[in-house]
Chain A
Amino acid sequence: MSGTKQGFWAIAGREIVRMQSRPLYGLSMIFAPLFCFVFFTTLMREGLPESLPAGVVDEDNTSVSRSILRNLDSYQQTEIIRQYSNFAEAREALQKNEIYGFFYIPKGTQEKASSQEQPKISIYTNSAYLIPSSLLYRDMKTMATMASAAVGREVLLAKGANMDQAMGFLQPIKMDMRPLGNPWLNYNVYLSNTMLPAVLALMILMVTCFSIHTELKDGSAREWLSLSGDNILKAVSAKLFPQTMVFSLMALIYLVLLYGWMGFPLHNGFWPMFAAAELLILASQGFAVFIASAIPSLRWSLSLCTLWGVLSIPISGFSFPVMGMPAALQALSYLFPLRYYFLIYVDQALNGVPLVYSAWFYVAMIAFTILPLVDISLLRKAAHEYTYLP
């Protein structure tokens, strides 16, 4: 039995030497994930963008319009940087990206107000930039409503109503939004929690597939297999073991970064997310081995692994929900390990629901891990017979 053990460690040791022999492995297993970890967490460190540039156009230029302008108090997220003399000028500024939105007060506002007609302010935003545009809209809508309410409230208060009565008349039903889990609507929480593992999973898929198939390409596969006593399962697991360790270290780094350093919500503690990250690594490796065995060509299996890794980002549903996708893609989303990681993260870190509700997601990841059992014998065959075709 000691002979078996030696075989495992001999292959693992051989893999460490192989990994060190080329900067490619260091770049793709350590540098690439670290770069993305730092990139995403620092890019959005504000959490919510502040002082987004906006403008105003006052074509009326009367006492009423000026009082509206005065009442457009600045909000934390919106900063009115300029007043434009007409609509065309503001539109141009929007096209040039100087501002993301503007208020438009048309000619005749005062006239309408005094003739008992309801004047109207328009809010324009550049929705080609969806996030700043949505945030700006929310602020600008409130600003416009408040400015108009301020005018109405002053009248009501002057007529002897108290504040309660005034608000009860101006806005009888009020909405109280309570976002669960992420009350600050923090973008960093919502992007980084999926982007960091997504990049890691992408690199795992590619590196796993690449490192197995280079054995075939370089003609060293037979030597590799013979070290395991022609046991392909042992050969693969021993070869991937050092990589699993490196990736686990990367996973630990991002977990500490997100939940320790950045202090993102982690309701059920460290272990459920640590288990999810470890399973994401194993599931990605399992999936890559499955593909590498099924397709005996470095280029094609690597292409498929890459496609899977890149596609898993939108299809995990973290930015655009899966339920909004066409039915075919909804079904397809079950085939991506990252999708299950995302569901676990929502349950365990963001919402803190009991572990049992996420049990199936963990089981699915385990299924990906053991997926290679289906076709790994093909890899053994390929290792014996394969010749590389560019």
Chain B
Amino acid sequence: MWVKNLLDVCGKELKRTLSDVGVLVFFIIVPLLYPLLYAYLYSREVVHEVPVVVVDECRSTTSREFLRKSDATPDLKIVSYCSDMEEARNLMRRHKAYGVIHIPAEFERTLSEGRQATVNLYCDMSGLLYYKAMLSGCTIVSLDMNRDIQMQRLSGLSDWEKDAMTMPIENEYITMFNPTNGFQAFLIPAVLILVLQQTLVLGVAMLAGTENERRRSGALILGEEYGNPMVVLAGKGLAYLLVYGFTATYVLCFVPWLFHMPQLWQLPTLVAFIIPFLLASIFFAICISFFVRDRESCFLLFVFVSVPLIFMSGISWPTSNMPAFWKVLAQLFPSTHGVNGFARINTAGALLQDVRIESISLWILTGVYFMLSLFIYERMYRSDKMPGVEFVMAMRTRVRRDIRVAARDIKEAGQELKEKLEQRKKN
């Protein structure tokens, strides 16, 4: 009996979803296009050929060699040679260049005396990637030239120099899981997960808003006639899960493939992880949709949340360095666990046991939000009001009353003070 009811609710909800253009925008169009736009935005991964200007006060063969080699790196591009720093600064002000390579006059002489010579790099800090490009470009050149200089000096061969040459230990750098060390492979997995959660929230909230608008004009809400909130909730959840089965496949598998991003996932792991993520997101969405009074307010209430949510996931600013309060709050959102799990499954080839903590957290969130929705549904069936909106209204009344009371207290205190001052004056 309840299975039939459940499927009944699921079918009706599917029909309602698929016939509502506003909801389809969130469930299909945004997940279809938005990830493409984002991935396209970062498709070049890193910044190449950052324009820099040169102030070469040395004008020697060595300084010219340094500059030629810097220009040849993929990171930098010399756009102009300036006679002094003022001219260079002017070009930076006009956004013609993002850095200055300054070679001091004594550069060559210092080198020939066997002491350490310095090259000064001034860098515009409006984007950290300019800094990174300048640092890595010039470091490569200096390492290269240092080796040549050492070799030259060794041809003169003194014992201690020879000894030292054999000693230094080289080092090499290997970036794991994001071979180009680029922006796309790092940010897009997080964006994809967030798009799934946020479109679910917006779509479900829009459905709930519509329902509430109708309810205000006396209509029954979906499934009320079955009298069993658990069945209604499960039916709705199943309907959304069916839709998002397709959406998630497209977003998480097709988009990264299209942009040739690293995709190291194993199918069983991915499926076993994404199902609890979708379930947690669905019941989370149902839960907060109770705060929505009409169709369009979901935009104003939930869109901005995406911005802090992506930072809460720890994909950008490391979790290990977040204040405890935000760390705890972040646990309440499926996206936090979803981003961390998916980034590692997709980009680092992690298996289910490697993301055990995230996976368990998502199951717990699923349970918590399911129970919470159940509780709210029960109350909703019993009364005509919307518990979420009711709660906000009550809070608002209370805050307003508190403010009024505080204002009155302040006024009274002020009057008392005034009276006292007047009395003192009289005395």
Interface of A with B (CB < 8 Å)? 22-24, 26-28, 32, 35-36, 39-40, 42-46, 49-53, 68, 91-92, 94-97, 100, 109, 113, 116, 118-134, 137, 141, 144-145, 147-149, 151-152, 155-156, 159-161, 164-165, 167-182, 185, 187, 190, 195, 198-199, 202-203, 206-207, 210, 213-214, 217, 298-299, 302-303, 306, 309-311, 313-315, 317-321, 323-326, 329, 342-343, 346-347, 350-351, 353-354, 357, 390
Contact = CB atoms under 8 A, between A and B. Distances in A.
Contacts of B295: 299, 390
B247 interface: no
Interface of A is mostly: helix
Q: Give 10 closest A-B pairs by Cβ, nearest first.
A: A159-B160, A127-B178, A148-B169, A144-B171, A130-B186, A182-B125, A346-B126, A28-B300, A324-B47, A127-B175
Contacts of A320: 41-42, 47, 127, 129, 183
B168 A311 contact: no
B185 to A, nearest CB: 7
Nearest to B138: A175
Contact of A130 (B50, B113, B120, B183): B183
Given A129-B315, A176-B118, 4 more contacts: A128-B347, A133-B181, A173-B116, A206-B300
With most chain A CB atoms within 10 A of its CB, the pick from B121, B295, B307, B315 is B307
B186 A141 contact: no
Given A95-B354, A128-B185, A145-B171, A202 B117 contact: no
Given A24-B297, A190-B128, A210-B300, A357 B94 contact: yes
A174 B118 contact: yes
A123 B186 contact: no
A120 B320 CA distance: 30
Interface residues of B, number: 112
A132 B304 contact: no
Contacts of B93: 347, 351, 353-354, 357
Contacts of A313: 307
B216 to A, nearest CB: 13
Contacts of A49: 317-318, 320-321
Nearest to A164: B115
Contact of A175 (B132, B142, B185, B189): B142
Contacts of A175: 118-119, 121, 135, 138-139, 142
B164 A152 contact: yes
A7 to B, nearest CB: 28
Contact of B307 (A36, A126, A145): A36
A187 B127 CA distance: 10
B344 interface: yes
Contacts of A314: 38, 41-42
B145 interface: yes
B91 to A, nearest CB: 11
A181 B119 CA distance: 19
A133 B392 CA distance: 42
18 contacts: A27-B300, A43-B311, A118-B166, A121-B172, A124-B176, A128-B178, A129-B343, A144-B169, A159-B159, A159-B164, A160-B160, A161-B160, A175-B119, A324-B48, A324-B129, A351-B92, A357-B94, A390-B295
B324 to A, nearest CB: 11
A174 B103 CA distance: 11
Contact of B116 (A24, A109, A128, A171): A171
B296 interface: yes
Interface stretch (B146-154, B219-227, B235-243): B146-154
B126 A43 contact: no
Contacts of A325: 41-42, 44
With most chain A CB atoms within 10 A of its CB, the pick from B132, B146, B340 is B146
A171 B280 CA distance: 55
B317 to A, nearest CB: 6
A35 B308 contact: yes
Nearest to A24: B297
Nearest to A311: B37
A236 B5 CA distance: 50
B118 A95 contact: no
Nearest to B184: A320
A321 B129 contact: yes
B175 A125 contact: yes
A71 to B, nearest CB: 10
A121 B169 CA distance: 7
Nearest to B40: A326
A22 B185 CA distance: 42
B393 A126 contact: no
Nearest to A148: B169
A115 B98 CA distance: 46
Contact of A390 (B22, B46, B121, B176): B22
Contacts of A172: 111, 116-117, 145-146, 149-150
B148 to A, nearest CB: 9
B331 interface: no
A125 B176 CA distance: 6
Interface string B93-137: 111000000000000000101111111111111111111101100
A116 B25 CA distance: 67
A28 B311 CA distance: 20
Contacts of A144: 169, 171
B33 to A, nearest CB: 9
B316 interface: yes
Interface in B336-378: 340, 343-344, 347-350, 354
Contact of A43 (B134, B138, B317): B317
Given A27-B301, A119-B170, A202-B304, A329 B41 contact: yes
Given A169-B153, A190-B125, A324-B44, A137 B119 contact: no
Contact of B171 (A39, A121, A126, A129): A121
A19 to B, nearest CB: 12
A169 B122 CA distance: 25
Contacts of A318: 126-127
B163 interface: yes
A173 B111 contact: yes
Contact of B167 (A96, A113, A346, A390): A113
